[in-house]
Structure 1
Amino acid sequence: MEAPRGIFFFAVLALLLRSSPNCFVAAAAATDSPAAAVLVRVDQSGKGDFRRIQDAVDAVPSNNSQPVFIWIKPGIYKEKVIVPADKPFITLSGSNAVSTVITWGEEWNSVDSPTVSILASDFVGRYLTIQNTFGEGAPAVALRVAGDRVAFYASRFIGFQDTLLDDAGRHYYSSCYIEGATDFICGNALSLFEKCRLHSVSRSGGAFTAQRRTSAEEETGYSFLQCKLTGVGAETAVLGRPWGAYSRVVFAFTYMSNAVRRGGWDDWNDPINRRTAYYGEYECSGPGSNVAGRVDWSRNLSSDEASRFVTKSWIDGQDWLRPPPGQFKNWRG
């Protein structure tokens, strides 16, 4: 289970750093193991290596080739964070998502508008809250993920419209909380969401997803496995609508509250999308999961049809998902 393991890991890390930080990092540095990560501490009080998260990211060299573990002490960090494409192998980690918050409040004006933008490959995010407080009225992205081989664990993404721009690349989200109203998971990545909670704050006309696959040849789409869908009202949101004509979304073994509209899916006012969108459900439960009332162009998947969507091989995860580092080396910036 991810959360208990994380709590234990950070409790031990905090104890070692608090009692004898120099001895800890020196001992870790003595092992030149490839699995050892460079430890960088962000602390608003000035007791770490940096006060701001972006400063810690900026200090990582371009074309980085070793794991860098940026440990963010609890606090509310009012800043925009960009992990650029030339800085792979970075982990941003809090100790607890509730106490480690990255926040901003800006509508979508440019690619620099999101609160956090992940453009690098081989990135990991853990135990973070990332939010955009702009509110209603326009797209306002909390998190944009456009790097390949990106994973988030036990984190929270909070906004209203387009909360999570799951833009491009292969991604994995485990035990995350995602909140919004309009198309609040959107983009054209190939992603697996496992044991996540999706919470709609829409009062009417909401949509959990807006996936943007534009052709049958594109290997993109969203799979939701063992997730939970909730909302603030009954029949207030559809499972998805096609941002791209070949939009592909599957929900499997997922609990759906009565927030899900009976029809399940929407064609975004274009009947042509019904011919090409791939929207499927498999063995879901809860009052919003009754497929008898679904639009006739969605799919009630067979076990064979669902099989490709319900394992990490959907995102080639067996090749790139990795455990947290077990050893650390001193930051020498």
Structure 2
Amino acid sequence: MRAIKDEHRAARHRRRRLSLAVGIPVAMAAAAGLTYGTAFGVFGEDAQPRASAATAAGAAAGAASAADDVADGMADDVADGFASVNALGQNGTYGGRDGKTVTVKTLADLEKYATAADPYVIVVAATITMDPKGKEIKVASDKTIVGSGTSGQIVGGGFFLGQGVHNVILRNLTIRDSYAGTWNDKEHDFDAVQMDGAHHVWIDHNDLRHMADGLIDSRKDTTYLTVSWNKLSDNNKTFGIGWTENTTADITIHHNWLRETEQRNPSTDNVAHAHLYNNYLQDVAGTDITSSYGNYSRGNTKMVLENSYFEGLNNPVTKDSSAAVVQRGNVFVGTSGRNESGGTAFDPKSFYAYTLDKAADVPAKVKAGTGPRAATGVTAEAASSTLTVAKDGSGRYRTVQAAVDAVPANNSSRVVVSIAPGTYRETVKIPANKPHVTLQGTGGSRKDTVIVYDNAAGTPKPDGSGTYGTSGSATVAAEADDFQARNLTLSNDFDEKANQNLAGHQAVALRTAADKAFLDGVIVEGDQDTLLLDTAAKDKLGRAYIRDSYVVGNTDFIFGRATAVVDRSVITLKKRWDGTSQGYVTAPSTPADRKGFLITNTTVTGDVSARSFYLGRNWHAGGDATLDPQTTVRDSALSGAIRTTPWSDMGGFPWKDDRFAEYKNTGAGSGTASGDRPQLTDAQARNQEIADWLGNWNPTALNPA
């Protein structure tokens, strides 16, 4: 009989008695052992205990980081102003964040992805010359085109957004030099950005200059447009808006630097709501370019002009008799000619929130902040510490997988995928080359954020290549080292009753297949094979630590070959699809030279029949007789649902030839030592603590190494 193995070793002064640091109170544990509880165990529906302090700290750090990014106007890929308004079936402007990120260095690749039907974040990482000169790439909807640092330059042409094109971001680019030798050019319509009937567009932090025609042409009822933090210079016709008798467009223009531009600064023709604020218009004396006019409200335009700074311009603010301009807080230095206001306009804050800078501060702020920034672009964003996910479009990504896809390969520091409350019906895979990823729910409860899918082992793959198999059925598959999940629910809701025709009902909610997986304050729920704790290969170490969490299931629902600890948690037993109560908590398939599963300071309970569940059985995966499966359950509260003989054979291998034991458990499901119920001695127990399982890994750290 080898049910308990003595593991002789020297005492280690480094031993951390993590299992005893914060345990379930004895009275609570004893009481728990006398009840079957609810589906979420004795701690109640809202899933206590939980690592709320760590979760809150992480969320606060993420929020602070995000706030800093927004304050810099650089790292959050969500537009402000009218481009942020929910209208025309589009909830704000976020570009291609739900698609793949690609890096381009050639005109062919830029055009390929910009014109594609699918969403893309397109990183321009080189100087790309348009051929022929004046070429304007026809950008399709749901695109972000962003320069990588200051290296993304478009020379001799630009971009065209046609009728109905929407949800486009142009950012951190230099677009220049389509000038064809004629200052007031009537022949060459070579714009930097031309929009004809587009909506929800954000043009931000670009350097636009020296084009044959306009720097920006917003035409034919283009609406829900925000133009921010751009440098527009060395041009005749800068920024024209209109080319229609309709009065429908809504446009925000803020924090732009217009320098040495003659006209259309901008010219706004028949714009329903034109909000211009904190712009800096500068005409430097003695240069070859002299301004004709500045901001112009034409036709039926209603313009609100706030806290902008005009320096040296002729006719800084003009309006038609039919148009309106409401001026507030603007500064005029060395200007001459028409400076007009009149009529009634609108309240921009009835459409969106914004904050005004003082007009006197605008020149310095705009000079320092406009144009492409070396520290921005997708490279910096993807490497940032927090990537936000929200189904309603208020985050950077709409799906969890899209955020994971944005994590740089072989990243060296932690990236938190911060997930807003909601149910995300998708599968998620964190590949092996993306370590240090945390999936973190931001709701008040771990039940608020749910990632769920319903694949099972026998579910056919859509491509006809067979079925998923057990490991392939996972809703979330974490194949990268140092994975974390916090404050959320990971679920597989495969319906066994409705799919009795399928061969293979194993349905994994979470599969870990790497080292240092840390589950902190989560719910992992399913039926058969809920939590697969695996390793990258049989000869690879794979450690997992599950703390302050719930694991729910009925058959072998904690299984695999990893070295894993379940600490201070609730294991909830669940009836089968047909209402019967029978099952196995663990099914370890541990290599002979490794630790298997340690369950400590945990409550095992559930609304099931008395004496109907085993604590575990020995899984010799693939009939491998060299394996030595191990489960130890210690210092835990066991409900009366646990059998008096809690261990079972599996696949023809006697459990007594492997490693199964208990130590000082309590509750109606506990029992005394016998040949069918091995108990550790005190000496043996000292070598079966959390530190023995985790070695030099301390998963209580914020960013475990």
Structure 1 residues 211-230: aligned runs within 5 Å:
211-214=588-591, 216=592, 218-230=593-605
Give the structure 2 partner of residue 170 of structure 1: 543
Whether the 8 Å CA contact 1:241–1:267 is kept in 2: the answer is yes
Cα separation, partners in 2 of 1:235 and 1:68, compared to 1, 3 Å: same
Give the structure 2 partner of residue 329 of structure 1: none
Match for 1:309: what amino acid?
Q
SS in 2 for 1:23: helix
Pairing partner for 2:404 from 57, 60, 64:
57
1:282-324 per-residue CA deviation (whole Å, 9 max, x = no partner) reads 01000000135x6x254210111112222234122x4352533
Match for 2:611: what amino acid?
E
- Give the percent of matched residue pairs that are identical in Structure 1 and Structure 2: 32
Give the structure 2 partner of residue 240 of structure 1: 616
Return the alpha-carbon distance in structure 2 between the equivalents of residues 37 and 191 of structure 1.
Answer: 30
Structure 1 residues 138-153: aligned runs within 5 Å:
138-153=505-520
Return the alpha-carbon distance in structure 2 between the equivalents of residues 243 and 7 of structure 1.
Answer: 35
| Comparing 146-155 and 205-214, the one that deviates more | 205-214
Whether the 8 Å CA contact 2:671–2:677 is kept in 1: the answer is no
Cα deviation for residue 65 of structure 1 reads 1.1
SS in 1 for 2:456: coil
SS in 1 for 2:617: coil
1:93-149 per-residue CA deviation (whole Å, 9 max, x = no partner) reads 012311010000111223432100000001111111000011436101111111111
Match for 1:234: what amino acid?
A
Cα deviation for residue 17 of structure 1 reads 7.6
Cα separation, partners in 2 of 1:72 and 1:211, compared to 1, 3 Å: same
Cα deviation for residue 8 of structure 1 reads 3.5
Give the structure 2 partner of residue 33 of structure 1: none
Structure 1 residues 253-264: aligned runs within 5 Å:
253-264=635-646
Whether the 8 Å CA contact 1:281–1:299 is kept in 2: the answer is yes
Match for 1:302: what amino acid?
T
Structure 1 residues 225-304: aligned runs within 5 Å:
225-231=600-606, 232-244=608-620, 246-268=628-650, 270=652, 272-291=653-672, 296-304=675-683
Give the structure 1 partner of residue 480 of structure 2: 120
Give the structure 2 partner of residue 44 of structure 1: 391
1:148-207 per-residue CA deviation (whole Å, 9 max, x = no partner) reads 111110000110000001112111000110010111101110011111111111333310
2:456 matches 1:107: yes
Pairing partner for 2:525 from 131, 148, 158:
158
Pairing partner for 1:85 from 407, 432, 450:
432
| Alignment coverage as a number of residue pairs | 312
SS in 1 for 2:643: coil
2:586 matches 1:209: yes
Return 5+ residue gaps in structure 1 as ranges: 30-35, 326-333
SS in 2 for 1:76: strand
Return the alpha-carbon distance in structure 2 between the equivalents of residues 26 and 302 of structure 1.
Answer: 60
2:37 matches 1:22: no
Return the alpha-carbon distance in structure 2 between the equivalents of residues 100 and 20 of structure 1.
Answer: 25
Cα deviation for residue 14 of structure 1 reads 7.7
SS in 2 for 1:191: strand
Cα separation, partners in 2 of 1:54 and 1:15, compared to 1, 3 Å: closer
Match for 1:41: what amino acid?
T
Whether the 8 Å CA contact 1:278–1:298 is kept in 2: the answer is no
Return the alpha-carbon distance in structure 1 between the equivalents of residues 74 and 682 of structure 2.
Answer: 52
Return the alpha-carbon distance in structure 1 between the equivalents of residues 516 and 489 of structure 2.
Answer: 20
Give the structure 1 partner of residue 7 of structure 2: none
Match for 1:225: what amino acid?
T
Which structure's CA Rg is the greater one?
2
The RMSD of aligned alpha carbons is: 2.5
Give the structure 1 partner of residue 358 of structure 2: none
Whether the 8 Å CA contact 1:177–1:196 is kept in 2: the answer is yes
Whether the 8 Å CA contact 1:308–1:314 is kept in 2: the answer is no
